[in-house]
C-alpha cells in the first residue's frame, strides 16, 4: 500500500464568539448571517466546509452582568446560551458545524496547554501595568484613544466605542512579549496582502503596528471568572487571549484524539475570520502574534465588516438601540432578513436598517421580482401544459441572450464571493431575476398561447412551439436561480426546487454545483412543475 493521500483542506470560516452578557441584536446576526451565506456558498460549490460560531463567556463584562442579575457567571452564561444564542441560529436559518463555548473543557484545557507552552518558550513574563481600561471592550486603552466626556460624564475620559467612562486599573500581571512581533507582523501584511481586508482595514492595521507594539497584559488577579493561569492559579487569563484561541481549540488544537487530530489537519489554518471592524486589531495583530509565538500556521484572511448604525452610531444593547432579529423575522421571515442585509449593505462598509426600506424591498424585489416570477412561470406551465414541462423548440436570440445573462450572473457571483463582496454576489444573482422577468414580458407566453400552431384542439400547448420554448427557458432560469440563491434564501430556494419538480430528475438542491448552474437545457421534458405556496407572500399593510 502506498502512502495515505493528504486529506483535502476544508474551507474553514469563523464568526467572532459572542459575549453572553446580553441577548443577540441584529448587529450580531449580521456577522453570523454573512458567514452562513459564504459557507453555504462554498458548500454549494461542493467543497468540504467547516463553519464555527460560539460564545465568549469569561471576563469582567459577563461577570458583572451575572452579579447584577444575582446568579453565578456560569449560570448566567448557560441561561443566555440556551435561551438566546443557540436559538437565534435557528431563527436566522444558520447552518453551523460546531458551536464553541469558552467554558467548555475542550477549550479551557487546550488554552492552558497553549499558555504553558508559551511560558516555557519564554514568551510570557511577570510585570506590572497601569492604565485606563474599558470593560465594554475588555481592553486597556491608550490615553490617545479616549474622548472627553460631556453632560453626565463631564470631566471624565470615555471609550470612543462605548461612550462610557474608562476605569484606571493597576495590576501585577503576566505579559505576552507582543512587542517582539511588530516587524514580523508588518512583513506578514506585506507578503500576504489580503491577510487583512478590506483595504481600509489593512491600512488601519499597518498604521497601528508601525507605531510600535507594547507587550500585552494577559492575566488578571482582581476577579476569578476566567481560565486559571496554569503556573499561577491566583491569576486568570485575559478574556481576549482566551477567546481568540477558540478558533483553534474548537477544531482540535493539541488533541490526542485521532478524530480531532484529523479535524485539525483538515481545517487549520482558518480560511476566513469574519469580524466586525471594532474587533479588527485583536484578530489582525494579537492573534497572529500569538500563533507566531506558538509556531502555528496563520489564518489566511481576516475580513472586517462594517457596523449597523442607528442614528449614525453603532447599534448596541448598551446604548439601547439594539433590535432583536426576531422582531424583523416574525414579520418578514428569515430569508428576507438574510437577503436584505446581504443585498443592501456593501460588505465592509457601514449600513443601516429601516422598516420602510425593508418593506419596500420585500414587496418590490422579493414578492414582485422573484416570488412572482416563480409563481407565474409555474402557473403558466400548469395552465398550458398541465404542469408537465414540454420540449422546447429551436432557440432564438432571446433565449441565448438570457442564457448569457445567467452565465455572467454565475461568473460574477462566484468572483464576488471570493472577494467577500457578498452584496455584489446577490446583485449578480438578481440580474438574472430581472432579466428573466424582462424575458417573460417580451416573449408574452399568454399571447403566444393564442397563436396558430402553439396549442392543440383542446387549447393545450404543444411541444416544440414558441410557447413551450419560452416557458422551458423561464423554468431553466428559475432552476439556476434556485441554485444561486440557495446560500442566501435557503427556504425560498428549496421551495422553488420542489415547485420545479427538480429533485426527482436532478437530485437534491444541495448537490447542484453552483459553478455549472447557468448551463440551460437541464430540466428534461416531462418534469412535473407545480405552483406551490408563494415564495414571498405579499405583506398586507
Neighbours of 469 (CB within 10 A): 23
State the Cα–Cα distance between residues 430 and 442, nearest whole angstrom: 18
- Catalytic residue, from 157, 317, 383, 491: name it: 317
Question: Candidates 22-30, 228-236, 482-490, 503-511 — which segment interacts with ligand MSP by CB under 6 A?
Answer: 22-30
- Which string of b and e fits 419-454 if b means at least 16 CB within 10 Å? ebbbbbbbbbbbebbebbbebbeebebeebbeeeeb
Give the CA dihedral 19, 21, 27, 30, nearest 10 degrees: 50
Verify whether residue 314 is a known catalytic residue.
yes
- Catalytic residue, from 157, 162, 319, 491: name it: 162
Verify whether residue 137 is a known catalytic residue.
yes
Verify whether residue 107 is a known catalytic residue.
no
Residues 218-247 close enough to bind ligand MSP by CB under 6 A: 243-244, 246
In contact, 338 and 93? CB cutoff 8 Å: yes
- Catalytic residue, from 58, 134, 141, 305: name it: 134
Only one residue has cell 399568454, namely 446
Question: Candidates 3-11, 14-22, 416-424, 434-442 — which segment interacts with ligand MSP by CB under 6 A?
Answer: 14-22
| Interaction between residue 18 and ligand MSP (CB under 6 A) | yes
- Catalytic residue, from 58, 61, 137, 141: name it: 137
Question: Candidates 27-35, 120-128, 167-175, 382-390 — which segment interacts with ligand MSP by CB under 6 A?
Answer: 27-35
State the Cα–Cα distance between residues 448 and 470, nearest whole angstrom: 9
Shortest distance in whole angstroms from residue 139 CB to ligand MSP: 10
| Interaction between residue 314 and ligand MSP (CB under 6 A) | yes
Q: Which residue is nearest to ligand MSP (CB)?
A: 276
Q: Which of 23, 118, 196, 308 binds ligand MSP (CB under 6 A)?
A: 308
| Interaction between residue 17 and ligand MSP (CB under 6 A) | yes
Beta partners for 124? 176
State the Cα–Cα distance between residues 516 and 236, nearest whole angstrom: 52
In contact, 277 and 321? CB cutoff 8 Å: no
| Interaction between residue 31 and ligand MSP (CB under 6 A) | yes
| Interaction between residue 315 and ligand MSP (CB under 6 A) | yes
Taking the least distance from each CB to ligand MSP, the nearer of 351 and 382 is 351
Taking the least distance from each CB to ligand MSP, the nearer of 315 and 374 is 315
95's CB contacts (< 8 A; 6+ apart) are 36, 39, 40, 51, 490
Q: Mask: binding to ligand MSP, 43-82, rule CB under 6 A, as x and -?
A: -------------x--------------------------
Taking the least distance from each CB to ligand MSP, the nearer of 263 and 305 is 305
Question: Candidates 189-197, 313-321, 329-337, 489-497 — which segment interacts with ligand MSP by CB under 6 A?
Answer: 313-321
Only one residue has cell 512579549, namely 177
Rg (Cα) of the chain, in Å, rounded? Answer: 27
The cell numbers describing 285, all together, are: 495583530
Helix, strand, coil fractions of the chain, as percent rounded to 5 = 50, 15, 35
| Interaction between residue 307 and ligand MSP (CB under 6 A) | yes
The cell numbers describing 377, all together, are: 412561470
Taking the least distance from each CB to ligand MSP, the nearer of 183 and 313 is 313
Neighbours of 249 (CB within 10 A): 23
In contact, 42 and 125? CB cutoff 8 Å: no
The cell numbers describing 476, all together, are: 431553466
Shortest distance in whole angstroms from residue 31 CB to ligand MSP: 5
Strand segments (E) across 263-410:
272-276, 302-305, 308-310, 313-314, 351-352
Shortest distance in whole angstroms from residue 351 CB to ligand MSP: 8
Q: Mask: binding to ligand MSP, 451-490, rule CB under 6 A, as x and -?
A: ----------------------------------------
Quickly list DSSP for 73-133: HHHHHHHHIIIIIHHHHHHTT---SEEEETTSHHHHHHHHHHHHHHHHTT-EEEEEEEEEE
Q: How far is CA 64 from the centre of its chain?
A: 29
In contact, 510 and 483? CB cutoff 8 Å: no
The cell numbers describing 49, all together, are: 466546509
Verify whether residue 317 is a known catalytic residue.
yes
The cell numbers describing 471, all together, are: 416557458
Taking the least distance from each CB to ligand MSP, the nearer of 19 and 114 is 19
Question: Candidates 89-97, 273-281, 424-432, 530-538 — which segment interacts with ligand MSP by CB under 6 A?
Answer: 273-281
| Interaction between residue 28 and ligand MSP (CB under 6 A) | yes
Query: Helices (DSSP H) in 194-286: which residue ranges?
Result: 199-210, 239-244, 246-249, 258-267, 280-281
Taking the least distance from each CB to ligand MSP, the nearer of 19 and 189 is 19
Shortest distance in whole angstroms from residue 5 CB to ligand MSP: 33
Question: Candidates 13-21, 111-119, 467-475, 477-485 — which segment interacts with ligand MSP by CB under 6 A?
Answer: 13-21
Taking the least distance from each CB to ligand MSP, the nearer of 97 and 350 is 350
Q: Which of 78, 278, 414, 463 binds ligand MSP (CB under 6 A)?
A: 278
**DSSP run (H or E) holding 130:** strand 124-134
Verify whether residue 9 is a known catalytic residue.
no
Binding site for ligand MSP (CB under 6 A): 16-19, 27-28, 30-31, 56, 243-244, 246, 275-276, 278-279, 307-308, 314-316
Catalytic residue IDs: 25, 28, 134, 137, 159, 162, 314, 317
Amino acid at each position: 500500500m502506498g502512502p495515505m493521500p493528504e486529506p483535502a483542506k476544508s474551507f474553514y470560516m469563523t464568526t467572532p464568539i459572542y459575549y453572553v452578557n446580553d441577548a443577540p441584536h441584529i448587529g450580531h446576526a449580521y456577522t453570523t448571517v454573512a458567514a452562513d451565506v459564504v459557507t453555504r456558498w462554498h458548500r454549494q460549490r461542493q467543497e468540504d466546509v467547516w463553519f464555527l460560531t460560539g460564545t465568549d463567556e469569561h471576563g469582567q463584562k459577563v461577570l458583572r452582568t451575572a452579579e447584577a442579575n444575582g446568579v453565578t457567571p456560569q449560570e448566567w452564561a448557560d441561561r443566555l446560551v440556551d435561551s438566546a444564542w443557540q436559538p437565534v441560529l435557528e431563527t436566522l436559518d444558520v447552518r453551523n458545524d460546531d458551536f464553541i463555548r469558552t467554558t467548555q473543557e475542550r477549550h479551557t484545557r487546550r488554552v492552558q496547554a497553549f499558555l504553558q507552552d508559551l511560558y516555557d518558550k519564554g514568551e510570557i513574563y511577570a510585570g506590572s501595568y497601569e492604565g485606563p481600561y474599558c470593560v465594554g471592550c475588555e481592553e486597556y486603552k491608550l490615553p490617545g484613544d479616549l474622548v472627553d466626556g460631556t453632560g453626565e460624564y463631564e470631566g471624565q475620559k470615555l471609550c470612543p466605542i462605548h461612550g462610557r467612562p474608562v476605569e484606571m486599573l493597576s495590576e501585577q500581571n503576566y505579559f505576552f512579549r507582543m512587542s517582539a512581533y511588530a516587524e514580523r507582523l508588518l512583513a506578514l501584511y506585506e507578503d500576504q496582502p489580503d491577510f487583512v481586508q478590506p483595504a481600509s482595514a489593512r491600512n488601519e492595521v499597518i498604521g497601528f503596528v508601525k507605531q510600535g507594539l507594547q507587550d500585552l497584559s494577559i492575566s488578571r488577579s482582581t476577579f476569578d471568572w476566567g481560565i486559571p493561569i496554569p503556573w499561577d492559579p491566583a491569576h486568570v487569563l485575559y478574556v481576549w487571549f482566551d477567546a481568540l484561541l477558540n478558533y483553534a481549540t474548537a477544531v482540535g488544537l493539541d488533541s490526542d484524539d485521532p478524530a480531532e487530530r484529523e479535524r485539525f489537519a483538515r481545517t487549520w489554518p482558518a480560511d476566513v475570520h469574519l469580524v466586525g471592524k471594532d474587533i479588527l486589531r485583536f484578530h489582525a495583530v494579537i492573534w497572529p502574534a500569538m500563533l507566531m509565538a506558538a509556531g502555528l500556521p496563520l489564518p489566511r484572511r481576516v475580513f472586517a465588516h462594517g457596523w449597523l448604525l442607528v442614528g449614525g452610531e453603532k447599534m448596541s444593547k448598551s446604548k439601547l438601540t439594539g433590535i432583536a432579529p426576531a422582531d424583523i423575522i416574525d414579520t418578514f421571515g428569515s430569508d428576507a432578513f438574510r437577503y436584505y442585509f446581504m443585498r443592501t449593505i456593501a460588505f465592509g462598509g457601514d449600513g443601516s436598517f429601516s422598516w420602510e426600506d425593508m418593506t419596500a424591498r420585500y414587496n418590490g424585489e422579493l414578492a414582485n421580482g422573484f416570488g412572482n416570477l416563480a409563481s407565474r412561470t409555474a402557473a403558466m406551465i400548469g395552465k398550458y401544459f398541465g404542469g408537465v414541462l414540454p420540449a422546447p423548440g429551436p432557440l432564438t436570440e432571446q433565449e441565448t441572450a438570457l442564457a448569457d445573462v445567467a452565465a455572467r450572473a454565475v461568473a460574477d457571483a462566484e468572483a464576488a464571493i471570493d472577494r467577500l463582496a457578498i452584496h455584489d454576489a446577490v446583485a449578480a444573482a438578481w440580474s438574472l431575476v430581472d432579466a428573466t422577468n424582462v424575458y417573460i414580458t417580451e416573449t408574452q407566453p399568454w399571447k403566444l398561447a393564442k397563436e396558430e400552431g402553439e396549442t392543440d384542439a383542446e387549447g393545450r400547448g404543444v411541444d416544440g412551439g414558441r410557447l413551450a420554448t419560452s416557458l422551458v427557458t423561464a423554468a431553466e432560469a428559475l432552476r439556476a436561480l434556485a441554485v444561486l440563491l440557495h446560500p442566501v434564501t435557503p427556504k425560498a430556494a428549496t421551495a422553488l426546487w420542489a415547485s420545479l419538480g427538480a429533485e426527482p430528475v436532478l437530485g437534491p438542491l444541495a448537490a447542484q454545483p453552483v459553478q455549472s448552474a447557468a448551463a440551460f437545457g437541464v430540466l428534461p421534458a416531462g418534469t412535473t412543475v407545480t405552483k406551490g405556496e408563494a415564495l414571498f407572500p405579499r405583506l398586507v399593510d
